[in-house]
Amino acid sequence: MKRSTKRVGIKLLKILCILVASPFVYQGINLFLPHIDAMASRLAIISAGTVMPEGGNAVLSDKISQYQQGEENSDISTIIESPQVPQETQTSSESQESSQPVLAKPENAGEIYRKQYTAAANSQHINIGNNAYIRNITNHTNQEVIDQIANPPAFEITDTSEPQVLIMHTHTTEGYELQTADWYDKNFNSRTTDSSLNVVRVGEEITKQLKAAGIGVIHDTTLHDYPTFPGCYDRSAVTVQNYLKQYPSIKIVLDVHRDAIEDKSGVRYAPVANINGKNAAQVMIISGCDDGTMNYPNYFLNLRFAAVLQKQMEGDYPGLTRPVLFDYRKYNQHLTSGSLLLEMGSVANSLEEVIYSGELVGKSLAKAINSMKK
């Protein structure tokens, strides 16, 4: 009996110890989680890199996230973007009004380098006019590409109040730096569900410019990558198909993202161009190509539109764009003949820089669309 009572006492003591220790264990986990998230973010942006035509300062990567089948595939880089849970970023009304929030530089800050990416005609880069380029890394010859883009876009734009443009986001939570600086906080999560701080804000600026030009547009803000990341392209495909069914007048679908460029030393690069005395984040159009495995045979039709928009943007705002990426990838671009992916700046660009780019892209897109009206 004594031995049994002693065992019960020991068990009760163990339970009591667990109950007493639990709050401290939970607190410790909470304190460590941000560091886990930061490490995930750091590992998420690994560069393999390519030397840009102008020589460049380093061997860089033009990130295109590499995901599972049907998701984004790396171009020449091996960057894999981690499906980390976004932060619910909280901002006061005062900080939202300020275009330049003042944040303290942490001791372990990483370096941000602002750079304008340029191109020159070579075996991969095709000058298509207005100093605009297509970067062809498919097995199609440059002459094949030139012959294809000599044709107008396959869709027709009509003079109607019906929506003809859909702007949406497969990676809706992709965010930016909150201020323009030469450093970044390694603990800062570059994803957020706050639509005033992520790619949704940029899409809204493009939408604003199209509406001002009298062009019917829908901006979808569905969180396709949160709370579950895998399968986000499947979910965004359903969103696009539903809109196309409801509004057959839609001819153009723009999937607005942001890029991520970082070298092996941890330096992050913000692609910028000075437009009218102000820095704008550079923009990269991605137009996919089928290698015979994607059920996407009409990819050249999208490239025709990509060429029109690229030339318009470079003609209006020289330096705004990086070369169109024409590579083996899909991005749901099989759904229309006017579907493109836009990389608006990179993870190191400030929100102010990409909002300005959204304005410029919106104005050029409106001009291009109006020029195609029948």
Going by C-alpha positions, the residue among 43, 36, 53, 31 that lies closest to residue 323 is 53
State the CATH number of the domain containing residue 300: 3.40.630.40
Distance CA 218, CA 234 (A): 20
- Confidence band, pLDDT 50/70/90 cuts, at residue 270: very high
Of the two residues 69 and 307, the one the predictor is more confident about is 307
Q: Quick check: 43 pLDDT over 70?
A: no
- Confidence band, pLDDT 50/70/90 cuts, at residue 24: very low
Could you tell me if 98 and 27 lie in one domain? no
- State whether residue 9 is helix, strand or coil: helix
Is 164 inside a domain boundary?
yes
Could you tell me if 16 and 122 lie in one domain? no
Could you tell me if 145 and 11 lie in one domain? no
Q: Are strands 165-168 and 217-219 parallel, antiparallel or unpaired?
A: parallel
Q: What is the mean pLDDT of residues 104-132?
A: 94
Is 50 inside a domain boundary?
no
Could you tell me if 106 and 37 lie in one domain? no
- State whether residue 57 is helix, strand or coil: coil
Could you tell me if 34 and 125 lie in one domain? no
- Confidence band, pLDDT 50/70/90 cuts, at residue 9: low
Tens-place pLDDT, residues 145-170: 999 999 999 999 999 999 999 999 99
Secondary structure (H, E, C), 192-236: ECCCCCEHHHHHHHHHHHHHHCCCCEEECCCCCCCCCCCCHHHHH
Residue 280 parent element (H or E): strand 278-281
Q: Quick check: 60 pLDDT over 70?
A: no
Could you tell me if 98 and 185 lie in one domain? yes
pLDDT at 300: 98
Distance CA 69, CA 354 (A): 29
Is 59 inside a domain boundary?
no
Q: Quick check: 18 pLDDT over 80?
A: no
Could you tell me if 156 and 256 lie in one domain? yes
Alpha helices in the chain (DSSP H): 2-44, 93-97, 142-149, 199-212, 232-246, 299-316, 351-371
- What is the number of helices (H) and of strands (E) in the chain? 7, 12
Could you tell me if 7 and 135 lie in one domain? no
- Confidence band, pLDDT 50/70/90 cuts, at residue 103: confident
Is 339 inside a domain boundary?
yes
pLDDT at 49: 31
Is 186 inside a domain boundary?
yes
Distance CA 315, CA 318 (A): 6
Phi, psi (rounded to 5 degrees) for 222: -55, 135
Q: Quick check: 131 pLDDT over 90?
A: yes
Could you tell me if 158 and 252 lie in one domain? yes
Strand order in the sheet with 183-184: 183-184, 110-115, 268-275, 278-281
Amino acid at 69: Q
Could you tell me if 126 and 36 lie in one domain? no
pLDDT at 6: 53
Q: Quick check: 293 pLDDT over 70?
A: yes
Of the two residues 37 and 7, the one the predictor is more confident about is 7
> Using a CB cutoff of 8 Å and minimum separation of 24, what contacts does 7-12 make?
none
pLDDT at 259: 97
Contacts of residue 92, defined as CB under 8 A and 6 or more positions apart, other chains included, come to none
Q: What is the mean pLDDT of residues 43-63?
A: 33
Indicate the angle between helix axes 142-149 and 299-316, nearest 10 degrees. 80
Is 130 inside a domain boundary?
yes
The predicted model scores a pTM of: 0.77
Is 18 inside a domain boundary?
yes
Give the least confident one: 49-53, 240-244, 282-286.
49-53
Average pLDDT, the chain: 81
Instruction: Answer with the one of 28, 44, 60 that is the final residue of a domain.
Output: 44
- Confidence band, pLDDT 50/70/90 cuts, at residue 315: very high
pLDDT at 373: 87
Is 155 inside a domain boundary?
yes
Could you tell me if 37 and 108 lie in one domain? no
In sequence order, what DSSP letters do the residues of 325-358 get, joined into one string?
A: EEEE--TTGGG-TTEEEEEEEETTSBHHHHHHHH
pLDDT at 32: 39
Q: How far is CA 231 from CA 50, 83, 236, 351, in A?
A: 29, 11, 9, 27
User: For the chain, what is the domain count?
Assistant: 2
Contact 101, 207 (CB under 8 A): no
Of the two residues 319 and 86, the one the predictor is more confident about is 319
Could you tell me if 146 and 246 lie in one domain? yes
99 is in which domain, residue-wise?
A: 93-371
pLDDT at 5: 54
Share of the chain above pLDDT 90, in %: 70
pLDDT at 40: 40
Going by C-alpha positions, the residue among 240, 230, 228 that lies closest to residue 169 is 240
pLDDT at 189: 86
